[in-house]
Amino acid sequence: MITVAYRYSLLGPVRVWHDGRELDPGSPQQCAVLALLLLAGGRPVTIDQLVEKLWGAAAPSAARPTARTYVSRLRRLLPAEGARSVIQSGRAGYLLPVAPDALDLTAFDQLVVDSRDAKTSGDPGLAVRHLRQALALWQGCALAGARGEFVDSERARLEQLRLGATEERISLDVDLGRHAEVLPEISSLAAAHPLEERLRELHMLALYRCARQADALQVYRDVRGLLHRELGIEPGPELRALHQRILRADPDLDRHDQRIEGADAAPPIAPVFNLPLPADQTVGQGLLARRLHAARQRGFVGREAERALFASALHGATPTFATLYLHGPGGIGKSTLLRRLADDAESSGRPVVRVDGSAVSSSPSAFARAASAALASPRAVLLVDAFEHCAELEPWLREDFLPRLCDGAIVVVAGREAPSSAWRADPSWSGALAVRALHGLSTSEAAALLTARGVPPHIHDSVVAYAGGHPLALSLAADSARHGDPAARSWQPTHDLIETLLGELIGPVPSPIHQLALHVCAHAHSTTEELLRGVMPAGDPAELFAWLRGQSYIESGPAGLRPHEIVRDLLDADLLWRDPTGYDAIHRGICRHVLDDLVVRHLDGSAALGKIRAIRHLAGEGRTSAAFVPRDPVHATESAGGLEYWLNARPSGPSASPREGSAYPVGFMSWIRRTESGHDAGDVASVVPLSWESSPRHGRRPGQQALPESTESNRDRPAIEGRASPSGPIHDLSHWGA
């Protein structure tokens, strides 16, 4: 007889309930035994099958008695009325009868069948709702907590069922005109499953219907190249056919089912399978939620000013603002701060409504549905994260949605970019909008974060030296350092960590030429449009400069553009590791541009000092010996003699730099070319030893040498590094302190 007092879950952790109370299924292998009995679908499982599924060919000598022990424990865990256990045993093996509505996997399969029946009968709205309910049964990775030989293959099978149902649901949503709403989800799934051609079809169709034909065609080129590289095949006929239809702008591609309104308005389906909750527990207040909340409280540091401003709006009789707009580059801590503000609001009894900008895309209807609860409460706190993903909604949000909130509501918007000037230009928002840029943590706050994350104090300095005050970099570095060698005296980032941070802080880059411009910007002291024009082999310098300037992790200053230090270090370290030759090409190109500019234009004063700072920055990267700066009086006197010689011999060669606010010279730089016939090589040779003798204590590295020789073959090819070499005619490149 089948009892319905027990309910089971396999679409996530292996779990079991009895009369609403969750039971402990035991060890990972015991969980696997329970999963095997449930997956058998009411058929008996022999002891030999259990051994094979649990251990395979590596079964220990005690495998059979161990498997019987697991079954015995499960039988005691699952007693039945009038019998010893709901798990039955006999000559055919062990059998666990399960009612159709008592296992989430059975409910999932039935809902998928019901969805296909609804689609066949012409009701796509009902089909979508069935699939949404089916997918809502998943609580994580299938068979989580189970361990056995069969688990990986069975988990892969179940995950494929999940992916198939997700594809069907997305396809129906696209057919119903929800292409803009599901586009972010499709993009994420396609990235996770790059060889799934059906996902690529849906991605292309959704992009096309969003008026992004070029992006849709790029998806096809990407998947075609991937299939060719990985499998040596062409895309399937469906994908090729869609590609051709997009190329010719087939008008039928824009047609979709017009019954979306009816689909949204239809009543919800009665649940087929409910996960029971203990009587003393409610959703969001379970033990895990409390533990996560406590950890969040312990690990949060800094942001006192922002929290105080938020508190003034929460508790003040007259709120200081209606909308707080937080902006800053990726990883600066916007999401973490929003979670902390949510805790503060909930502690004060305010209802909190959260909206993820990456999930609502550019659809006002999707945003309105996600934030609808905020319209119903006069004390609601609406928190909008990742607003950069739906920045197109800013005018609608400002002019339409936010004015419909109750007067006592508070809104916090967080995104990478600052709000548009339209907010400040609109007089109705004067005094109602507060804007705050988030910056890195202070040194003491960074140390507090590392302490809260359990990083040993003796390696704090090396972690902070790398990550600075950047919260995400600190957090990931802390996790790496905490699990590293406990005996290590310092910490260094791994390449995996660098790659992870680059993905989080920078995100996708439009093209390889934009990626190159980004590396140039990271390597140069500061970047101007002029530098890009002189260094970049291709691309429009004005467009590339404008793109760089628009990135949230790059700051504009009087000298040009500079990335945040953590971004600069990550990009430089990544390129040097991946492509040393490309790194050197960028380095040499920047050096050539800076030195040519300094010598050809004969800069003086602050302009020359700016170029010298740029050269010293490049020298500090350890890739050139461009700056040898003698500090002692002896070398200063010798340097002055060298300066006097070259001012007389080549007045157009050296550049002298005065002290700021004074005409007193503090140094000069000379870039000496052998391009004039009749110039005495001995004159050149006479000054090279002077600078070279002073260089050992000022930066010369082993293996470098000064070569005064010049040949016809290298006469017109400028060298870039500070040492002379057969590849170029520079004989001396140095600073002389005077």
Question: Looking at residue 157, which CATH number applies to its domain?
Answer: 1.10.10.10
Rg for the chain, CA atoms, rounded: 34
Give the DSSP letter of residue 150: T
1 and 141, same domain (yes or no)? yes
Instruction: Find out whether 472 and 493 touch, Cβ atoms under 8 Å.
Output: no
Name residues of the chain where pLDDT drops below 50. 1-4, 261-262, 264-265, 277-287, 605, 621-640, 643, 650-652, 673-679, 681-685, 694-738
24 and 133, same domain (yes or no)? yes
4 and 144, same domain (yes or no)? yes
Any residues with CB less than 8 A from the CB of 632 and at least 6 apart, and which? none
Q: 636-658: buried (b, 16+ CB within 10 Å) or exposed (e) per residue?
A: bebbeebbeebeebbeebbbbbb
In a domain, 371, yes or no: yes
* Residue 404 belongs to domain with CATH number: 3.40.50.300
pLDDT of residue 710: 36
pLDDT of residue 36: 96
In a domain, 680, yes or no: yes
Q: Which amino acid is located at 419 in the chain?
A: P
1 and 139, same domain (yes or no)? yes
52 and 143, same domain (yes or no)? yes
In a domain, 585, yes or no: no
Among 174, 195, 215, the domain boundary falls at 174
Distance CA 584, CA 13 (A): 51
pLDDT of residue 301: 83
Distance CA 149, CA 426 (A): 64
Q: Is 664 exposed, middle or buried (0-12, 13-18, 19+ CB in 10 A)?
A: exposed
DSSP secondary structure letters along 191-244: HHSTT-HHHHHHHHHHHHHTT-HHHHHHHHHHHHHHHHHHHS-PPPHHHHHHHH
Any residues with CB less than 8 A from the CB of 118 and at least 6 apart, and which? 124, 126, 127, 130
In a domain, 673, yes or no: yes
487 and 632, same domain (yes or no)? no
Instruction: Find out whether 172 and 255 touch, Cβ atoms under 8 Å.
Output: no
Q: Which amino acid is located at 671 in the chain?
A: W
63 and 33, same domain (yes or no)? yes
Distance CA 36, CA 270 (A): 29
Any residues with CB less than 8 A from the CB of 72 and at least 6 apart, and which? none
In a domain, 383, yes or no: yes
In a domain, 590, yes or no: no
What six digits make up the tokens of 534?
Answer: 């002189």
Among 174, 194, 209, the domain boundary falls at 174
pLDDT of residue 161: 95
Would strands 381-385 and 410-415 be described as parallel, antiparallel, or unpaired?
parallel
433 and 473, same domain (yes or no)? no
What six digits make up the tokens of 578?
Answer: 């991946």
Residue keyed to tokens 């709000």: 419
Q: How many domains does the chain have?
A: 5
In a domain, 108, yes or no: yes
In a domain, 195, yes or no: yes
Residue keyed to tokens 């006002």: 364
Indicate the helix (H) or strand (E) that contains 384: strand 381-385
| Helices 512-523, 565-578: inter-axial angle, 10-degree rounding | 120
108 and 196, same domain (yes or no)? no
* Residue 186 belongs to domain with CATH number: 1.25.40.10
Distance CA 169, CA 208 (A): 19
Tell me the residue ranges of DSSP E strands in 544-677.
Answer: 554-557, 560-563, 655-658, 665-671
168 and 195, same domain (yes or no)? no
Among 174, 191, 223, the domain boundary falls at 174
Angle at 132 (CA atoms; ends 129, 135), nearest 5 degrees: 150
166 and 192, same domain (yes or no)? no
419 and 450, same domain (yes or no)? no
Distance CA 89, CA 94 (A): 5
3-class DSSP assignment, residue 655:
strand
pLDDT of residue 286: 46
| Helices 124-136, 104-120: inter-axial angle, 10-degree rounding | 170
- Side-chain-side CA neighbours of 387 within 13 Å: the count stands at 27
CA dihedral 539, 540, 545, 551 (to 10 degrees): -60
pTM strictly above 0.75: no
Domain extent, residue 665, equals 625-737
